[in-house]
């Protein structure tokens, strides 16, 4: 007896296809993935796929675009993670922010894999979008450092832009190691280690971390 297919609203069906494509692209790579692999993962007919996407390339574009949108939205909320940690000091705020980012990429591990490993090589249009996202992250890191410098908490001789690039570089390596490779890593512990390194490197000499609780941090 032929299995009856589930009828989904258009938006849910489109998302189902995107999720299936993301899963397959992350494991097989773009070049080794076919539409047949995507529809098999989604358990839909080939005709259903073509109701939503013209080709493998188009759904790949949609996967990457959706991920970029999620990252942009997360960037706007980057300070929210520190709210609960403010009373514990500046280092706790930094740790909470790093932890939130690590958890974000872990929650979207397949999409992160697709974007970081393949997107720019598949379509050059993604290179500019990726660079813009990275610049937004750099701007956010640098802005936070300037606020802390204005409060007298961070060494004033440090260049916010330089430190932001150092932080992003470290974060890139942590994503590759503890999110994409070690899927059971303790992300809270990773964030604590990173924040300890960052804070000890940027704080104003003589300040003790446990004494800091700036409302503006």
Give the separation between CA 60 and CA 64, rounded to whole angstroms: 6
Topology of the domain covering 62-208: Tetracycline Repressor; domain 2 (1.10.357)
Report the SS3 class of residue 29.
coil
The model's pLDDT over 55-92, given as tens digits with 9 standing for 90+, comes to 999 999 999 999 988 988 887 776 554 444 444 577 78
Angle between helical axes of 187-202 and 160-174 (0-180°, round to 10)? 160
Pair of tokens at residue 88: 């514990």
Residues facing 203 on adjacent strands: 154
1-53 has CATH 1.10.10.60 classification: yes
78: phi > 0 → left, psi -120 to 50 → alpha, else beta; which?
A: alpha
Distance of alpha carbon 179 from its chain centroid, rounded?
10
Residues, the chain: 217
Pair of tokens at residue 55: 């080709």
Residue 5, pLDDT score: 60
Question: Any idea where the domains of the chain sit in the sequence?
Answer: 1-53, 62-208
Give the separation between CA 158 and CA 9, rounded to whole angstroms: 53
The model's pLDDT over 14-61, given as tens digits with 9 standing for 90+, comes to 999 999 999 999 999 999 999 999 999 999 999 999 999 999 999 999
Half-sphere exposure of 94 (CA within 13 A, CB side): 31
Q: Are the C-beta atoms of 44 and 17 separated by less than 8 Å?
A: yes
Report the SS3 class of residue 13.
helix
The model's pLDDT over 114-130, given as tens digits with 9 standing for 90+, comes to 988 877 677 777 777 77
Residue 22, pLDDT score: 97
């Amino acid at each position: 007896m032929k299995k009856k297919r589930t009828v989904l609203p258009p938006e849910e069906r489109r998302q189902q296809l995107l999720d299936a494509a993301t899963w397959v692209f992350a494991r097989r790579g773009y070049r080794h993935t076919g539409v047949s692999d995507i529809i098999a993962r989604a358990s839909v007919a080939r005709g259903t796929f073509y109701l939503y996407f013209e080709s493998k390339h188009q759904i790949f574009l949609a996967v990457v675009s959706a991920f970029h949108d999620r990252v942009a939205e997360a960037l706007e909320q980057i300070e929210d993670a520190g709210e609960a940690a403010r009373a514990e000091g500046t280092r706790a705020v930094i740790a909470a922010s790093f932890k939130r980012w690590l958890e974000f990429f872990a929650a979207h591990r397949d999409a992160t894999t697709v974007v970081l490993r393949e997107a720019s090589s598949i379509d050059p249009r993604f290179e500019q979008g990726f660079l813009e996202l990275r610049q937004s992250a750099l701007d956010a890191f640098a802005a936070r450092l300037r606020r802390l410098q204005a409060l007298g908490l961070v060494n004033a001789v440090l260049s916010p832009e330089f430190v932001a690039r150092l932080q992003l570089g470290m974060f890139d390596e942590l994503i590759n190691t503890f999110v994409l490779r070690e899927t059971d890593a303790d992300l809270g512990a990773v964030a604590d280690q990173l924040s300890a390194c960052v804070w000890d490197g940027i704080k104003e000499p003589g300040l003790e971390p446990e004494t800091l609780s700036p409302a503006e941090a």
